[in-house]
Amino acid sequence: MPGTLGAKERWVATGSIGALILGMFVGEVLHRQGAMGVVSGFSVAGDLMLVRPLMMLVLPLIFTSVVAGITSLGDPSRLGRLGISTSAYFLATMLVAAALGATLVTLVGPGLGLSPQDVSALKSSGIERFEAAPKLTQAASEGGQGLTYAWLQIARQMLPSNPFAAMAEGQPLGMIMFAIVLGVALALSGDVGDPAVRVLNGINEALLRAVGWVLWIIPVGAFLLVSASVGKVGLVQLLGPLGLYMSVVIGGLVIHMFIVLPVFQAVLGGGNPYRFMWNMREALATAFATASSSATLPVTIRVCETEGGCSQRATRFCAPLGATLNMDGTALYEAVAVVFLFQLYGVQLSFGELAVVVATATLAAVGAAGIPSAGLVTMVIVITAVNASLGSEKLPVGAMGIVIGVDRLLDMCRTTVNVWGDMGAARVMTRIAPD
């Protein structure tokens, strides 16, 4: 039921927005003072207070939520309809996001007007940063194996040979698929399966109660994490040579969050999307502070069901899947970043190549995990595909290093849009799967 949170919890929801604003301000002051010791302390404290407690709950919550959501649907044909509609919604919104990003970056051209000195400084420092980032170099060597390999990786994650290993390795996709299979089987098992369903439902409710405890920490945790992230890099970056690039990413995310997705929601789900957004502020603030859709997922599920008026069935199906697969912000970001890098390397992409960017940015977003910087790692898929369509390696994969330094700030913004996209899906799918 919407609006059933108590007065104190509403205060927490409002406090989390205040925490973001205060965190940005304090972070910028710390950056200017060079107080890196305080910044590290804030980062550690924020991780311990908010990120870890949420991450501790997320995997069991995903499993029990998906099983509970599916068994409550009953009839598997309803699951089919929900599954197809949700996938179509995810795909459509991500493609629109990537197309919006590709259009904006092409129109604005943030990589075109820079001085030759700035360009060569960016290129050499970028390659150095890339070589110092083992995750990226590893992704580059895997990504060089092309699109088929990227698809295969996603398929392998979807069909884990050992669901417990997938869980232990923190790969939610395999666990979700296992939970779907188990949920459908339990739904078809009738009375025999009832005790198992009741146990899993009971655990799910208990976990959601535990999420309620963590909610109290959001304002403080969000303040610490945002101060630490801004403190590390400083908002002053927005004025540097990467400033226009960052503005295009942030501008695109703002358009997608405040115009495109609300239109999708209003047309397909009904209701006032901005009121819904305001009611979801706790989860959006958590996404911004943690830069992780996975860490935010417990909050997403809870607020969608309590404040957002989304059905349990739709939320418990769409939110876990969305946190893993549906990343509008990441798709937009990948498109902008890759076209920007090609511009820096003097390559203007044709319409056909931009279409490759849009399609592969969507794939890269689907493949990205819901953790910080995951979108940066999967960007190699997009660069490799565009190079292949150009017929030569016009953009070295190592150029990704150019955007590493400013990634955290953009990650916070795109994760907020990712989570907002998942909530919109839960809201729209509530029409198909009401409680």
Q: Residue-wise over 28-55: b if at least 16 C-beta within 10 A, else e?
A: bebbeeeeeeebeebbebbbebbbebbb
Confirm or reject binding of residue 414 to ligand ASP (CB under 6 A). yes
Q: Give the nearest residue (CB) to ligand ASP.
A: 375
Q: Which of 221, 367, 375, 398 binds ligand ASP (CB under 6 A)?
A: 375
In one letter, which amino acid is 48?
L
Confirm or reject binding of residue 227 to ligand ASP (CB under 6 A). no
Alpha carbon of 308 to those of 154, 162, 435: distances in Å? 31, 35, 14
Confirm or reject binding of residue 398 to ligand ASP (CB under 6 A). no
Q: Could you tell me the smallest distance in angstroms from the CB atom of residue 30 to ligand ASP?
A: 23
Alpha helices for 216-280 (secondary structure H): 218-233, 243-255, 261-269, 273-279
Residue closer to ligand ASP by CB (options 327, 433) is 327
Q: Could you tell me the smallest distance in angstroms from the CB atom of residue 35 to ligand ASP?
A: 26
Kindly report the CA angle at 114 between 110 and 117, in degrees rounded to 5? Answer: 145
- The CA R_g of the chain, rounded to the nearest whole Å, is 21
Confirm or reject binding of residue 363 to ligand ASP (CB under 6 A). no
Confirm or reject binding of residue 229 to ligand ASP (CB under 6 A). no
Confirm or reject binding of residue 374 to ligand ASP (CB under 6 A). yes
Stretch that binds ligand ASP, among 49-57, 148-156, 182-190, 372-380 (CB under 6 A): 372-380
Confirm or reject binding of residue 336 to ligand ASP (CB under 6 A). no
User: What is the Cα–Cα distance from 278 to 403, expressed in whole angstroms?
Assistant: 31
Contacts of 192 (CB under 8 A, 6+ apart): none
Cα-to-chain-centroid distance, residue 198 = 31
Q: Could you tell me the smallest distance in angstroms from the CB atom of residue 34 to ligand ASP?
A: 27
User: What is the Cα–Cα distance from 314 to 323, expressed in whole angstroms?
Assistant: 14
Q: Is the torsion defined by CA of 134, 138, 140, 143 positive or negative?
A: negative
For 190, left (φ over 0), alpha (ψ -120 to 50), or beta? left
Size of the site for ligand ASP (CB under 6 A): 16
Confirm or reject binding of residue 72 to ligand ASP (CB under 6 A). no
- What 8-state DSSP symbol labels residue 160? -
Residue closer to ligand ASP by CB (options 72, 415) is 415
Residue closer to ligand ASP by CB (options 187, 284) is 284
Q: Which of 126, 163, 273, 372 binds ligand ASP (CB under 6 A)?
A: 372
Residue closer to ligand ASP by CB (options 187, 420) is 420
Confirm or reject binding of residue 371 to ligand ASP (CB under 6 A). yes
Confirm or reject binding of residue 59 to ligand ASP (CB under 6 A). no
Confirm or reject binding of residue 370 to ligand ASP (CB under 6 A). yes
Q: How many residues are there in the chain?
A: 435
- What 8-state DSSP symbol labels residue 396? -
Confirm or reject binding of residue 327 to ligand ASP (CB under 6 A). yes
- Please report, to the nearest 10 degrees, the dihedral formed by the alpha carbons of residues 352, 353, 358, 359 taken in order: 80
Residue closer to ligand ASP by CB (options 232, 414) is 414
Which among 290, 324, 222 has a CA at the least distance from the CA of 13? 222
Q: Could you tell me the smallest distance in angstroms from the CB atom of residue 369 to ligand ASP?
A: 7
Confirm or reject binding of residue 93 to ligand ASP (CB under 6 A). no
Q: Which residue has the tokens 């209701």?
A: 271
Site residues for ligand ASP, window 281-320 (CB under 6 A)?
291-293
Residue closer to ligand ASP by CB (options 105, 197) is 105
One-character DSSP codes across 178-229:
HHHHHHHHHHHSGGGGHHHHHHHHHHHHHHHHHHHHHHTTHHHHHHHHHHHH
User: What is the Cα–Cα distance from 104 to 252, expressed in whole angstroms?
Assistant: 7
Confirm or reject binding of residue 411 to ligand ASP (CB under 6 A). yes
Residue closer to ligand ASP by CB (options 279, 292) is 292
Stretch that binds ligand ASP, among 109-117, 160-168, 274-282, 407-415 (CB under 6 A): 407-415
Residue closer to ligand ASP by CB (options 292, 300) is 292
Site string for ligand ASP, 32-51 (x = CB under 6 A): --------------------
Confirm or reject binding of residue 373 to ligand ASP (CB under 6 A). yes
By CB under 6 A, name the binding residues for ligand ASP: 291-293, 327, 330, 368, 370-375, 411, 414-415, 418
